A and B are shown apart, each in its own frame.
Chain A
Amino acid sequence: MTYKKLKRIDLIFHEDCDCRQVLEKTFSKSNDEVINDILESGLKGRGGAGFPTGLKWKFTAEQPSDERFVICNADEGEPGTFKDREILFKVPSKVFSGMAVCAKVIGAKKGYIYLRGEYRFLLPQLTKALDVFHKEIKDLLDFEIIIQMGSGAYICGEESALFESMEGKRGEPRNKPPYPTIAGFRNKPTVINNVETLVYAFMICKHGPTRFKELGTSDSRGSKVFSVSGDTPIAGIYELELGMSLDHFVEEFGDGDTKAVQVGGAAGFCVPRKKFNDTIIGFEGVPTGGSMKVFNSSRSMYNVLHNYLEFFEEESCGQCTPCRVGCQQLIKGIEAVKKGEQKAAYLDQLMKLSETMKLASKCGLGQSVANSFSSIVDNFREEMIY
């Protein structure tokens, strides 16, 4: 197993950058060249799913249509994730610039930022920054960015639910296919990228693909913004090279008594101490949208799991039965085992239920409940019972 040492990177936050200059340089290239740069860099979506960004742009550009859109997904709601807020707060013009590059290469005239309702306090500042940006690029590109507010629904971070919400409907995920690159917002070809992905795309335009590609591993190129919370003395936002071992991560961020790390938030995986050494943070190991939550020995993993399940139960859109009813049954189930109303073996039944949810749910929410459920129950079984 090969992993990288933990290394801090500062591509996103600290580097000063004349956005207009980078845009001019980028726009002097052909659209194909820009897409090739993004492909070449190996950038994968930073929301968690990890689809190659260059391909997304390419597919959308190639889809015949009179209209295309670029959408910035700023609806991060995964418990433990707060990196996009920091990015939008600190370097908004890099986000706008990433959208502008995408707009140019796919041929979009309009872009939207779907900002979660919880971040409404950012709106005045973002609007101001956007005004400046629009003026700055007026003679470069015919492109307008509009900010659209969410209203407190985690599921709207799912891309097709986000489109539904933008169209004035309940934010319920659509059936796939068709994928957004073919029929997204208003059924037009749409690139939807999260905040961090767009900034990285822009930084790749600034530096060329090589600098990015040299970081990380063959499966997980580049660096990534992590939000670290829980039992850590240094909670916060860190930009780190991908491919580090969890061991090194805990050495740096733990409090000396770390018993588990939840990688990727409630929808992610819980890794226990004995596996820190051979767990890689990246697509070849445990992928993450950025949330790293540290638990020390004082924590009850039963409580942790219960809290996650409550979260899912509340945020399930209710469209499909495995997810809607499954979440409720998992909660009732672990409560029953804890109270001794069910035998410990009942946990295995619940594991099967979570596997069914993975197979039969329509979207990522219902599909990913099993990740935290089975990793916590597997690794901390006795805590579920006693």
Chain B
Amino acid sequence: MPEVQELVKSLAEKYGRKRENLLHILQGIVEQERYLSDVALTEVARELDLSAAQVYGTATFYSFLDTEPRGKYVVRVCRTISCDMKGKNRIIQAIEETLKIRLGETTQNNKFTLLETNCMGWCHEGPAMLINDQAYTNLTEEKVIEIIMDYAKE
């Protein structure tokens, strides 16, 4: 996959090839590719002269550095206490029914992945979710379906 190799190289050039730049590079790959493939991780190890284990071990530590394929839009619904109290289960169910996937899965067209996440700092406006970097709050079943459909149209 020469494309990934090129991406890794350009990120390494942009941020530098020191260990300290590893997270920046991994974040850059996720931004482009939505996840870190084995090829990408091996390439990063080669480019930064680290062991693959070091790179893999770091990547898997962070929940936003996905090492499994993800859709174009990663939907993360908060599962922590406030959002739980405000009915996050209903929100998840509504998304599952709309997208015809279960928590943790990706739609067939690779457009959406549905995940849970821990408190994302919108506890006063729960239930809350992130779609990629964008936060959505005060969700209701109707509202969340509308939001998802808007993305689906794109």
Query: Once the chains bind, are B121 and A119 in contact (CB under 8 Å)?
Result: yes
If A121-B135, A152-B63 touch, does A170 touch B57 (CB 8 Å cutoff)? yes
A-facing mask of B71-115, CB < 8 A → 1, else 0?
000000001111011000000000000000000000000000000
Main secondary structure of the interface of A (DSSP, over half): mixed
If A165-B23, A299-B85, A307-B81 touch, does A153 touch B61 (CB 8 Å cutoff)? yes
Minimum CB–CB distance from B11 to chain A (whole Å) comes to 13
A228 at the interface (CB under 8 A from B): yes
Q: How many residues of A contact B (CB 8 A)?
A: 52
Closest B residue to A120 by beta carbon equals B133
B-facing mask of A149-171, CB < 8 A → 1, else 0?
11111100000000001111111
Minimum CB–CB distance from A174 to chain B (whole Å) comes to 15
**Which of B20, B63, B65, B124 has the most chain A CB atoms closer than 10 A to its own CB?**
B124
A-facing mask of B1-38, CB < 8 A → 1, else 0?
00000000000000000111111101100000000000
List of A residues within 8 angstroms of B135 by Cβ = 118, 121
Instruction: Choose, from A29-37, A64-72, A73-81, A343-351, the stretch at the interface.
Output: A73-81
Complex Cα spacing A237 to B26, Å: 34
Query: Once the chains bind, are B27 and A151 in contact (CB under 8 Å)?
Result: yes
List of A residues within 8 angstroms of B52 by Cβ = none
Residue A79 contacts which of B22, B81, B130 (CB distance < 8 angstroms)? B81
Query: Once the chains bind, are A121 and B118 in contact (CB under 8 Å)?
Result: no
List of A residues within 8 angstroms of B24 by Cβ = 148
A229 at the interface (CB under 8 A from B): yes
Residue A168 contacts which of B19, B123, B124 (CB distance < 8 angstroms)? B19
Give the interface size class of chain B. Answer: 35 or more
List of A residues within 8 angstroms of B22 by Cβ = 168-169
Closest B residue to A312 by beta carbon equals B118
B141 at the interface (CB under 8 A from A): no
Query: Once the chains bind, are A82 and B64 in contact (CB under 8 Å)?
Result: no
Query: Once the chains bind, are A153 and B119 in contact (CB under 8 Å)?
Result: no
Query: Once the chains bind, are A121 and B82 in contact (CB under 8 Å)?
Result: no
List of B residues within 8 angstroms of A237 by Cβ = 124
Closest A residue to B26 by beta carbon equals A151
Complex Cα spacing A82 to B83, Å: 13
List of B residues within 8 angstroms of A80 by Cβ = 81-82, 119, 123
If A170-B61, A304-B81 touch, does A116 touch B19 (CB 8 Å cutoff)? no
Query: Once the chains bind, are B61 and A118 in contact (CB under 8 Å)?
Result: no
A-B residue pairs, 4 tightest by C-beta: A168-B22, A235-B124, A151-B62, A152-B64
Chain A interface residues (CB < 8 Å from chain B): 76-82, 84-85, 116-121, 148-154, 165-172, 186, 227-231, 235-237, 266, 291, 293, 299, 303-304, 307-308, 310-311, 314-315, 317
A-B contact pairs, 28 of them (CB 8 A): A79-B123, A81-B123, A82-B122, A118-B121, A148-B24, A150-B62, A151-B26, A152-B64, A152-B65, A153-B62, A168-B19, A168-B20, A168-B22, A168-B23, A170-B57, A172-B61, A186-B20, A229-B124, A230-B81, A230-B85, A230-B123, A293-B82, A303-B84, A307-B79, A307-B81, A307-B84, A311-B119, A315-B118
